[in-house]
Amino acid sequence: MQRKLAGNWQFHLLSTILKGHFMISPTEAQGLLSQAKGIIANNGVFSNQIQELKEIDIRAFSAGSDDEVTAEVDTEQKRVVVLPVKGVMLKYGTMCTYGMDEIAHYIRHFAAKENVSGIVLDIDTGGGACNAVPPLLDAINYTKSLNKPIVSAIDSAYSAGYWTAAATDRIFLDNDTVSGTGSIGVMISYLDPIPYYEKEGAKYHEVYADQSPDKNKPFKEFLKGEYDLIRKEMLNPLADKFHTAVKAGRPNLKYDAQGVLTGATFDAEQSIALGLADQLGGLKAAIDYVNIQYWTNHK
């Protein structure tokens, strides 16, 4: 289906990079750092490497078979719709990445259709921006309110990706070779441009009203290398919400086990043993489960 890319998507991308408020696995963060610098510096890092996404990759499967069908067709034949949550999770889409607000829109769109028995989120992500998660959680809860199943089929789901998966009814792992979950934690990073521009001859000024001594105080201390306040006021409260959400979504989670809620990552076998996932089986098992649950709920 045709995407509706925001006209100011470049601004949203730069804003997300500069805010640096992420729930993302460390390997993903390190790998993207040089690309983020290139985007900010406008060095053309992507100019010859962009594969423009013009349509949302939406798949659908008819009930009781492995046949892939057209998703956007009004018919009485029930079908399961599969939507992607892949790559770095950003709230707003770019030319070459889906926005999670786009995916959330289509979750709601298809969940509301009479001929859709349920939704599978096809997840393969190391996480991403913190503000990418709420739209997905709202859409997942909307689907549940319609008494329709919504599950996750995971290749990998770390950090923000795992928060999303934990909100669904069941988690299926694609394979026992490289599939994994975890990295339940929150971080912030910021690429400080001020020294660069001052080296180029610019002078940075920042003045606050006498009545505003606490405005931006955590961030000002952060820039000076003093991290206690931003950790206390921003990171810790969000991490608490992350933990609460995961515990609520995964009632069998062994959250006292080493590393589960402190940012460690786990392979498929460990994920199932710790209650981070339910079973192997991948996309097909997830689709079959949705069909069974739908007919069980609608007898």
CB atoms within 10 A of CB 68: 12
Q: What is the pLDDT of residue 119?
A: 97
Of 158-167, 199-208, 272-281, the poorest mean pLDDT is in 199-208
What tokens appear for 121 in the block? 């989120």
Q: Decide if 160 contacts 128 (C-beta within 8 A).
A: yes
CA dist list (Å): 16 to 47, 131, 134, 197: 20, 9, 15, 20
- 3-state secondary structure string, the chain? CECCCCCCHHHHHHHHHHHCEEEECHHHHHHHHHHHHHHHHCCCCCCCCCCCCCECCCEEEECCCCCEECCCCCCCCCEEEEEEEECCEECCCECCECEHHHHHHHHHHHHCCCCEEEEEEEEEECEEEHHHHHHHHHHHHHHHHCCCCEEEEEEEEECHHHHHHHCCCCEEECCCCCCEEECCCCEECCCCCHHHHHHCCCCCCCCCCCCCCCCCHHHHHHHCCCCHHHHHHHHHHHHHHHHHHHHHHCCCCCCCCCCCCCCCEEEHHHHHHCCCCCEECHHHHHHHHHHHHHHHHCC
d(CA 278, CA 270): 11
Identify the residue with better confidence: 92 or 273. Answer: 273
**pTM, full prediction:** 0.84
- Signed CA dihedral, 59, 283, 149, 267: sign only: negative
Identify whether 246 is part of a domain: yes
Identify whether 2 is part of a domain: no
End-to-end C-alpha distance for the chain, whole angstroms: 32
Under the banding of pLDDT at 50, 70 and 90, the label for residue 160 is very high
Q: Give percent of the chain with pLDDT exceeding 90.
A: 59
Q: What is the pLDDT of residue 11?
A: 47
- Residue 250 CB partners (closer than 8 Å, separation 6+): 166, 275, 276
Identify the residue with better confidence: 186 or 144. Answer: 144
Identify whether 69 is part of a domain: yes
Q: Decide if 180 contacts 138 (C-beta within 8 A).
A: no
d(CA 266, CA 272): 9
Residue 115's Cβ-count burial label (10 Å; 0-12, 13-18, 19+) is middle
Judged against a pLDDT cut of 70, whether residue 37 lies above it is answered with no
Q: What is the pLDDT of residue 140?
A: 98
Q: Please, which residues bridge with residue 172 across strands?
A: 153, 279
- Number of domains making up the chain: 1
Identify whether 3 is part of a domain: no
Under the banding of pLDDT at 50, 70 and 90, the label for residue 41 is low
- Residue 86 CB partners (closer than 8 Å, separation 6+): 98, 122, 123, 124, 125
The CATH number assigned to the domain holding 233 equals 3.90.226.10
Identify whether 4 is part of a domain: no
Of 95-99, 107-111, 227-231, 286-290, the poorest mean pLDDT is in 95-99
Q: Please, which residues bridge with residue 121 across strands?
A: 83, 152
What mean pLDDT is reported for the chain? 85
Q: What is the residue whose two structure tokens read 């933990």?
A: 243
Query: Tell me: the pLDDT tens digits for 66-81?
Result: 778 887 766 778 899 9
Identify the domain containing residue 147 by its residue range: 9-297
Under the banding of pLDDT at 50, 70 and 90, the label for residue 2 is low
